[in-house]
Structure 1
Amino acid sequence: MNPILDADGTAQSLEAVALARAIEALLLDATVQVPARLVQPLPGGGSLFVMPALDARIAITKLITFTPANAGTGRPAIQGDVVVFDVATGERLFVLDGPTVTARRTAAVSLLAAQKLAAGKKGPLLIVGAGAQGRAHLEAFAKGLPLSGVMVASRSDASAQALVEHAQTLGVPATVVRDPDEALAHCPLVVTCTPADGVVLRARPRADAFIAAVGAFTPRMVELAPDLCRHVADQGSIVVDTADAVHEAGDLIQAGLDVARYPTLKDVVEGRVKARSGPVLFKSCGWAGWDLAAARAALAALRPSAA
């Protein structure tokens, strides 16, 4: 049987802490191969992503569309699937819901970076953007860090309130904030997960701040003001998720920073990054390797004897 998992089934197979551990293990695995992804522009401003990856046991292809025009329509901006194959037999093992994988693995990458790099792991956590990524990051950080509280900023009051209520069901005190720049002074943990169609944070962060910026994944997309990025570069540390960020990290590119000089999450996991004082900016752009890690975690959850 080759199960096709819906969004709920995919979410149940991707517990946040286990997924973060799967991502860490993947970064230490020399058998992992991740070819360049294909991004095909579509009429109307959308994009088709074809993202393959493999290791010694499984191969995956993530096939999704990204349609920014769906914002506010009730249709998701990201739609598609992750198909998982057995390398030895060629058998299709299962299919995961693409948007759920994207949200969960992105949040787990941020969680792993925070576990490794954040000075103030109790927070409070400021989440800017209350959509699918905001919810996934809330759940991951609530599971993997000892959060003392959450502040939520969103251009949609209803979305912000809904995320606050969800945080409270997780046992985390939460409030809506109107001005994320003002909240920045009170939050050593920050996640920006917006559509990245404009700057959402301008103020300079605390000296002990950890910021995970996940919204922008093209040179023209942006969430963080250039001055904020340059301040962190001068006074703290910048880490990118992978070397591909050199072509994709809009926040850093628009700040005029040399993205190629910054260490990656793999460098952090392998112990090659020396601790520095000052704020930390973790810039995440996405990578099919993260989807491969999600497929590994799902395989372990669905077929424990095969993991």
Structure 2
Amino acid sequence: MNILLDAAQTAARLPWAPLVDEIEALLTDPTVQVPPRTVLPMAAGAFLFAMPGCDARTAMTKLITFTPANVGTATPTIQGDVAVFDVASGARTLILDGPTVTGRRTAAVSALGARWLAPNLAGPMLIVGAGVQGQAHVEVFAAALGVKQFRIASRRRASAEALAAHARRLGLRAEVVDDADAALADCPLVATCTPASAVVLRGQPRDDAFIAAVGAFTPQMVELAPELCRAIAAQGRIVVDSRDAGHEAGDLLQAGLDVDAMPALADIVAGQPKARDARGPVLFKSCGWAGWDLAAARLAAKSRPTG
């Protein structure tokens, strides 16, 4: 059996709707163990990440690099692998493409957050950033949540046009917008998916807005203006993807907010009923967590390729 899967083979093991469900299931599995990830700063703003995790049957470690200098080049910003092991035998069962796992599980976590938290899932959805994560968010919100209309904003017009064209090939309606802040008035769903080198959103969201901010995962990175974060904290609520966000959520830390006091997605999933009746806009701040990679590894281990 071939255990080394390329990007396409990895994606085939991680279909969107089952991946969202697997992430949700992981949050209620008492056997899951996920230690803090190791983040090693390297030259020129690059990082090496080592992210292990396990449950009663599956163990995995994701080892990837993040190289921001590669933005806009033919070399990916994220490179590496996810090694998957059978707990009972200790045998390595799969090696998954790291960037594919990262891209798909990050977008799937946003969709799960929206499933539980978004006051309005009707769309249209604003996507800020037209790279790998922008495309993944279009795909998962369409496949898992039924969103049909998208607005695409990017500092590179050609990238935005390419993503809009991809969405149309999927049977969706998509258009490019020049002003992301202006588009907030029409979009109850928002995802910021940029390299997080500068503020890309500062406007006033709708009262029924759900914003998934996924680009910033270090204290120095930022996508959302501090005043926007503070306004949502005052008028609505902020939920983080995991407790690790307390020392990683650059958008929130730079806004001077107490991240440790904010609920995590696991807290929301553990509570009943679902929280869509909460008032005001919702900011879902995602920094990444090895648990999301473990969920992907679990699904990949039991999935058969669909194509």
State how 1:96-111 maps to structure 2 within 5 Å. 96-111=96-111
Q: TM-score, normalised by structure 1?
A: 0.97
Q: Residue 38 of structure 2 corresponds to which residue in structure 1?
A: 38
Give the superposition deviation at 1:165.
0.5
Match of 1:277 among 279, 284, 287: 279
Q: Residue 179 of structure 1 corresponds to which residue in structure 2?
A: 179
Is 1:20–2:20 an aligned residue pair?
Answer: yes
Considering only aligned residues, what root-mean-square deviation do their CA atoms show, in Å? Answer: 1.3
Q: Residue type matched to 2:300 in 1?
A: A
Is 1:294–2:296 an aligned residue pair?
Answer: yes
Give deviations 1:162-195, integer Å, cap 9, x for gaps.
1001111111100000000000111000000100
**Counterparts of 2:148 and 2:102, CA distance in 1:** 26
**Counterparts of 1:90 and 1:199, CA distance in 2:** 45
Give the superposition deviation at 1:73.
1.4
Q: Residue type matched to 2:85 in 1?
A: F
| 8 Å Cα contact 1:2/1:92 also seen in 2 | no
Give the superposition deviation at 1:45.
2.1
| Gapped regions of structure 2 (runs ≥ 5) | none
| Gapped regions of structure 1 (runs ≥ 5) | none
| 8 Å Cα contact 2:13/2:305 also seen in 1 | no
**Counterparts of 2:53 and 2:60, CA distance in 1:** 5
**Counterparts of 1:38 and 1:71, CA distance in 2:** 23
| 8 Å Cα contact 1:229/1:255 also seen in 2 | yes
Give the superposition deviation at 1:2.
4.6
Q: TM-score, normalised by structure 2?
A: 0.97
Report % sequence identity. Answer: 63
**Counterparts of 1:300 and 1:265, CA distance in 2:** 25
Structure 1 residue ranges, 4+ long, deviating more than 4 angstroms after superposition: 272-275
Q: Residue type matched to 1:279 in 2?
A: P
Q: Residue 204 of structure 1 corresponds to which residue in structure 2?
A: 204
**Counterparts of 1:135 and 1:268, CA distance in 2:** 26
Secondary structure of the residue aligned to 1:85 is: strand
Give the superposition deviation at 1:302.
3.2
| 8 Å Cα contact 2:226/2:252 also seen in 1 | yes
Q: Residue 259 of structure 1 corresponds to which residue in structure 2?
A: 259
Q: Residue 250 of structure 1 corresponds to which residue in structure 2?
A: 250
Give the superposition deviation at 1:303.
9.1
State how 1:114-129 maps to structure 2 within 5 Å. 114-129=114-129
| 8 Å Cα contact 1:128/1:191 also seen in 2 | yes
Give the superposition deviation at 1:55.
0.5
**Counterparts of 2:209 and 2:100, CA distance in 1:** 28
Q: Residue 215 of structure 1 corresponds to which residue in structure 2?
A: 215
Secondary structure of the residue aligned to 1:171 is: coil
Give deviations 1:275-296, integer Å, cap 9, x for gaps.
4200000000000000000001
